[in-house]
Amino acid sequence: MLKLLKNQSGATFIELLLYIAIFLILTPILLSVSINAVRLEQQHETEKQASMDSQFAMERMYDLVTSTKKVDVANSVFNDMAGKLTLVMQDDSVVVIEGNLENKSVDITEGGLVTELSSENLQLEGLYFERITDELGDPEIVMGVNVRLNAHGLQEYAVLQEYIASANLERGDFDGDGCPDFIDTFPRHPACCGDSDIDDICDELDNCVYVYNPFQADFDEDGLGDACDSSGELSPFNCTPNRRSMIFLLGIRL
C-alpha cells in the first residue's frame, strides 16, 4: 500500500513538472502572439491614418488647381520629385504648392503664409507635377495638371504608396479675357474667344462672323464683310484691291 502511494505521488509530481514545463513554453509564445496582434492592429491604424492624410493633401491640391486662373510655368518645377506648382488665382493672388523633402511635407504658400500638410504618420518621398497643355502644345498654356504623391507610413517595413490625381483648370483663363481656356480658340489674345466660321479670325473682330472669309474683304467699308453683305456695293468677285493684287501676282487675271 505504501509503495503504491509512493508510485502515485511520483507520477503526480512528474505530471506537475510536465504542466509547469508546458506553461513555461506556451506562455512566451502566447504573449508573443498577443503582442504581434497588437502591433499589427497599430500598424493597420497607422497605415489607415497615413492614407487619409495623403488623400487630404491630394484633395487640397486638386481644389486649388481646379479653381486657378492659370499656371505660372516659369516659376514651376515639373517632372521632378521635389515638384513646385505656382498658381495665379482668379483674384491674381499667387499660391505655391511644393514638395518639401527635407521636412517630408507638402508646403502650400498663400498670402505669404506657409501651411505644411504633414503628418506624424506619414513621410513624403516625392511630389510630381506634370502639365497638360492645349491642343497646339503651347508649353505656357496649361489646361490641367497631373499630380503624383509618393509617401509611406513611419512603421517598420511600410510600403511606399502612390497617389495620383488629374486636375483640369476648370476656370483657367490664360489671357484674362473672361473666356475659359477650354473654349477659347485664341487663348493668348485677350480680345478674342471663339471662331464660329473657322477662318482664323475671331468672332469679336470678324466682319462676317458666320461666313468663312479669311481675307476680310469689305469693298464699301461699312464694317460688314463682302462675303455676307447683301445690301452694300460689292466689288467684282468680292475682292478688295489688296486681294486683287494678290490674285494678279498668282497669275490670275480678273
- Classify 108 as helix, strand or coil: strand
For 112, other C-beta atoms within 10 Å of its C-beta total 6
Q: What is the pLDDT of residues 108-146, one digit of tens each?
A: 999 989 999 877 777 888 999 999 998 888 999 999 999
Report the distance separating Cα 234 and Cα 122, nearest Å: 74
Structural domain harbouring 162: 33-168
Indicate if 204 and 124 belong to the same structural domain: no
Closest CA to 102 of 127, 79, 78: 127
Rg (CA), the chain: 37
Beta bridge partners of 114: 109
Count structural domains, the chain.
2
Indicate if 133 and 214 belong to the same structural domain: no
Indicate if 162 and 200 belong to the same structural domain: no
Q: Determine the pLDDT at residue 17.
A: 72
Q: Determine the pLDDT at residue 39.
A: 63
What phi and psi, each to the nearest 5 degrees, are found at residue 133? Answer: -90, 175
Report the distance separating Cα 245 and Cα 206, nearest Å: 22
Q: Determine the pLDDT at residue 15.
A: 72
Indicate if 58 and 161 belong to the same structural domain: yes
Report the distance separating Cα 63 and Cα 56, nearest Å: 11
